Amino acid sequence: MSKFFYRPTVGIDVSADFSVVAILAPNGEIYRKPFKIMHSRNGFDYLVDQIKKAEEEFNMKTGIFMESTGVYHLTLFHFLKDTFEVCILNPLITNCNKNSGIRKVKNDKKDALTIATIGKFQNVKYSSDFDVEIYTLKSLCRDYYKFTDSKSAFKKKLSTDLRVIFPSYSTVFSDITGKTSIAILKKYSSPEAVLNADRNELINLISTSSKRGLAHSEKTYKKLYAAAEDAVYIGLKSPSLFVKIINTIAVIESLEIQIENLLTEIHLLMRSNEVSDEFKKNVQLLYSIPGVGALTAITIMSEIGNIKGFVKPKHLVAYFGLDPSVSQSGKFTSDRNAMSKRGTRIGRRALYAVALASIRKNRKGEPINKVLLNFYNENMKGKKKKVGLVAIMHKLINYIFSVLKNQKEYELRDPKIHSKMYLNNKSTRAA
């Protein structure tokens, strides 16, 4: 039974510019017909007045429920949370209940009543935590990944355009967006420009950009000149295509500046007093896990938020969308169940990167995480690589849950020794 069963409840269907509010009396009847409020100072003040009227009439505190709707609900939630008990519902929960009637009716008023009914009568999970600084970190990290993806897309676009007008250019530079390559393309964007360029001037540009010796620069110049000759012979000749090259480079450079600004702001915020010491300690605990970098630790921790909201490791597994989907009907049980992928996408992406790093070796040939690498090699034979990586991600979730719950840094320990220590502790407690 919901703890709000004997209390007046408020359901809010949040939109971008306005919300629709429904209020139920303690007995479950409609106390106030659904009404609209604008997302403005007057609208928020009016809502507070209506909620306080209901509390005074019934002499009870209300429970306020709203969906997590991207960013639209944040201002209203932040405005109400210090005065009332406000609960955030997962949209998956409300969507399962919105079509419970026989008639096909879908409008904001009905949705507000449905949200209030769910909060009042159903014992559902909800969230009431909101930390502005953690939300800011999460937003900055998500923007970082978005801009990184955009940069990758434009790098592919640049590579595609060069294959059309400068086919052999990729044989000269392994990284076409490297400092030397970009410097050449900005000044000599066509094969003809490379062929007509002053030899010494071009060699000097290569030497200055790459910070390599004269011999390396001359060798690179010869390869570039030969590629330009091939391009003049087999490449497409169109001035408009050369403009595309310049524009794409400008976009890539702009994205690099934005990415650098985001990284700077993330690290400044982490060093400031605005972020709690508890959060900073948790980031350091994650950083102690081999394969987890500084930015990855911040990303994962900002996506998790408060670890106290997760009772068991499997709850964290579900939050990251790593829990298997289930398909069963009668005697049929599917054996091809993919991940649900209903959790945090960016958190899952960061965890995937850690999983990849965990089964690699460093430049000295030493494993990043010997335990996980052995597990991967021993148990994943004959299985697809991604299946093995998902298993590693599950292991990492257990590590993350353990270090955060126990507030102890990660210890690289052989599984057999770990099992022996666990059994010894269990027998000691029983005694």
Q: Give pLDDT tens digits for 86-102.
A: 999 888 777 766 655 65
What is the rounded average pLDDT of the residues 201-226? 90
The Cα–Cα gap between 413 and 336 comes to 33
Q: What is the mean pLDDT of the chain?
A: 87
Nearest 5°: CA angle at 311, between 305 and 314? Answer: 90
228 in Cβ contact with 166 (< 8 Å): yes
Residue 11 has pLDDT above 60, yes or no: yes
- 251/280 same-domain check: no
Report the candidate in 250, 295, 287, 306 with the shortest Cα–Cα distance to residue 269: 295
92 vs 180, which has greater pLDDT?
180
Asked if residue 3 belongs to a domain, the reply is no
Domain count across the chain: 3
pLDDT, residue 259, reads 97
Q: Is residue 4 part of a domain?
A: no
Instruction: Using pLDDT thresholds of 50, 70 and 90, give the confidence band for residue 339.
Output: confident
- b vs e for 181-194, b when ≥16 Cβ sit within 10 Å of the residue's Cβ? bbebbeebbbbeeb
Structural domain boundaries, residue 364: 276-430
Tell me whether residue 1 is in a domain: no
Closest CA relative to residue 155, chosen from 252, 33, 266, 67:
252
State whether 281 and 426 are in the same domain. Answer: yes
Confidence of residue 363 (pLDDT cuts 50, 70, 90): confident
Quick: pLDDT tens for 36-79.
Answer: 999 999 999 999 999 999 999 999 999 999 988 888 889 999 99
| pLDDT at residue 103 tops 80 | no
The string of pLDDT tens digits covering residues 120-135 is 888 887 877 788 899 9
Whether 310 and 412 share a structural domain: yes
Residue 271 lies in a domain: no
Of the two residues 178 and 101, the one the predictor is more confident about is 178
CATH classification at residue 245:
1.10.287
- Check residue 68 and give its pLDDT: 87
Q: Residue 30: what are its φ and ψ, rounded to 5°?
A: -75, 115
Is 407 contained in some domain? Answer: yes
Phi, psi of 183 (to 5 degrees): -60, -40
Whole-number Cα distances in Å, 147 to 240, 259, 369: 26, 6, 30
- Is the pLDDT higher at 91 or at 204? 204
Instruction: Please check whether residues 229 and 247 belong to one and the same domain.
Output: yes
Q: Do 425 and 281 reside in the same domain of the chain?
A: yes
Based on the domain organization, do 249 and 324 belong to the same domain?
A: no
Q: How far is CA 307 from CA 47, 132, 266, 291, 301, in A?
A: 32, 16, 21, 21, 9
- The verdict on 49 and 79 lying in the same domain is yes
CA 270, 273, 277, 278 dihedral sign is: negative
Last residue of a domain, one of 78, 98, 130: 130
Question: Does one domain contain both 257 and 162?
Answer: yes
281 and 414 share a domain? yes
Query: Are residues 281 and 406 both part of a single domain?
Result: yes
H or E stretch at 21: strand 18-24
Q: What is the pLDDT of residue 92?
A: 73
Q: Which of 109, 130, 151 is the last residue of a domain?
A: 130
Provide CB contacts within 8 A for 117, sequence distance 6+: 11, 24, 28, 97
Percent of the chain, pLDDT > 70? Answer: 90
Q: Are residues 113 and 193 in the same domain?
A: no
| 3-class secondary structure, 31 | strand
Does residue 310 lie within any of the structural domains? yes
The answer to whether residue 2 sits within a structural domain is no
Examine residue 405 and state whether it is found in any structural domain, yes or no: yes
pLDDT in tens, 260-310: 999 999 999 999 999 999 999 999 999 999 999 999 999 999 999 888 888
d(CA 230, CA 205) in angstroms, rounded, equals 22
**pLDDT band at 146; cut points 50, 70, 90:** very high
Residues 151 and 168 in one domain: yes
Domain boundary among 77, 112, 130: 130
- For residue 100, the domain's CATH number is 3.30.420.40
Mean pLDDT score, 228-241: 84
